[in-house]
Amino acid sequence: MKQESWLMPYATAHIWRFVLIAVLGILTVLFAGALMFTSGYLISKSALRPENILMVYVPVVGVRTFGIGRAVIHYVERLVGHDTILRILSQMRLRLYNLLEPQALRLSSRYRTGDLLGVLAEDIERLQDVYIRTVFPAVTALVMYGGIVAALGAFDPGFAVLIGLYVCLLVFVLPLISLLLTKRKNRAIKQQRSALYRKLTDAVLGLNEWFVSGRQEQFLRGYEEDEAEVDRTDRQLKRWARWRGLIAQGVVALTVISVLYWTGQRHGEGMLDVTLIAAFVLAVFPLMDAFLPLSDAVEKIPHYEESLARLRAIEAGNARGGLAGAAYDRESVENRNRSGMQHAAKLDLAKNARFLSDAGAGVHILVRDVSYRYEKESLSALATAEEEGLERETRYAVRGLSMDIPPGSKVAVIGRSGAGKSTLLKLLQGVISPSAGSVTLDGSPADHYGDGMASFISVLNQSPHLFDTTLENNIRLGRHDATAEEVDEAVRLARLGPLVQSLPAGLKTRMQEAGQRFSGGERQRVALARILLQNTPVVILDEPTVGLDPKTERDLLSTIFSSLHGRTLIWVTHHLVGIEQMDEIVFMDEGEITMRGTHAELLQRSSRYRRLYQLDRPGVM
Partner 1 sequence: MGKELLGYKGAKPVFLLVALCTVAQSLAIILQAKWLAEVISALFSGSSPYQQAGEIGWFLLAFLARHVISMLQQRLAQRFAEETGSDLRQRLLAALFQRGPAAVRTEGTGNVVTLVLDGIGKFRKYAELVIPRMLGVGITPILVWLYVFATDRISGLILLVTMPILIAFLILVGLAARKQTEKQLGSYRVLSNHFVDSLRGLETLKYLGQSAGHSRSIKQVSEGYRKATMRTLRVAFLSSFSLDFFTMLSVATVAVNLGLRLINGSLELLPALTVLVLAPEYFLPVRMLGADFHATLDGRQAGLAMQSMIREAEAESGATPLPDTKQPAAGEQKRPPQAQGPQRYAIGNANGGSSGLPRKAGKGPAAPPIGKSFAWETDSLLRLTGIGKRYEDGGRASLEGIDLQIRGRRKVGIVGESGAGKSTLIDLLGGFVQASEGTISLDGVPMSDADRRAWREQITYMPQHPYLFSCSLEDNVKFYAPDASRAEVVQAVETAGLSKLVASLPQGLDEHIGGGGRALSGGQAQRVALARALLGNRPVLLLDEPTAHLDIETEYELKETMLPLFRDKWVFLATHRLHWMPHMDYIIVLDAGRVAETGTHGELMARRGVYYQLITSQMEGVL
392 to 451, contacts with partner 1 by CB under 8 A?
A: 414-418, 451
Q: Tell whether residue 231 is a contact of partner 1 (CB under 8 A).
A: yes
- Cβ proximity to partner 1: between 107 and 294 the closer is 107
458 binds partner 1 (CB under 8 A): yes
- Kindly tell me which of 294 and 557 has the beta carbon lying closer to partner 1: 557
Asked if 183 interacts with partner 1 (CB under 8 A), we say no
Query: Looking at 63, 152, 532, 569, which residue binds partner 1 (CB under 8 A)?
Result: 63
35: contact with partner 1 by CB under 8 A: yes
Binding mask 137-176 for partner 1 (x = CB under 8 A): ----------------------------------------
According to CB under 8 A, which residues from 382 to 401 bind partner 1?
A: 386-387, 389-390
Q: Which is nearer to partner 1, 368 or 561 (CB)?
A: 561
Contact predicate 587/414, CB 8 Å: yes
Query: Considering the complex, what minimum distance in angstroms separates the CB of residue 249 from partner 1?
Result: 4
Q: Render 456-490 in DSSP notation, one character per residue.
A: TEEEE-SS----SSBHHHHHHTT-TT--HHHHHHH
Of 561, 346, 354, 333, nearest in space to 478 by CA: 354
CB-facing half-sphere around the CA of 233: CA atoms within 13 A: 18
Q: Between the CA atoms of 217, 218, 220 and 225, what dihedral angle is there, to the nearest 10 degrees?
A: 140
Return the residue of 282, 432, 541, 570 that touches partner 1, per CB under 8 A.
282
Distance, CA of 287 to CA of 147 (rounded, Å): 11
Length of the chain: 621
Q: Which member of 574, 584, 592, 597 binds partner 1 (CB under 8 A)? A: 574
Per the CB < 8 A criterion, the answer to whether 392 and 110 are in contact is: no
- 371 contacts 310 by C-beta, under 8 angstroms: no
The nearer residue to partner 1, 387 or 404, going by C-beta atoms, is 387
Q: Which is nearer to partner 1, 76 or 319 (CB)?
A: 76
Within residues 539-568, the interface with partner 1 by CB under 8 A covers 546-547, 549-552, 554, 557-558, 561-562
Residue of 7, 20, 74, 371 that binds partner 1 (CB under 8 A): 74
Please pick, from the candidates 135, 179, 256, 603, the single residue that binds partner 1 as defined by CB under 8 A: 256
Task: Considering only residues 301 through 340, tell me which ones interact with partner 1, judged by CB under 8 A.
Answer: 336, 340
Per the CB < 8 A criterion, the answer to whether 490 and 532 are in contact is yes
Asked whether position 603 contacts partner 1 by CB under 8 A, the answer is no
DSSP codes, 126-187:
HHHHIIIIIIHHHHHHHHHHHHHHHHHHHH-HHHHHHHHHHHHIIIIIHHHHHHHHHHHHHH
Residue 402 φ/ψ, nearest 5 degrees: -135, 130
362, 407 Cβ separation under 8 angstroms: yes
Residue type, 78: R
* Position 221 contacts partner 1 (CB under 8 A): yes
Q: According to the binding rule CB under 8 A, does residue 260 interact with partner 1?
A: yes
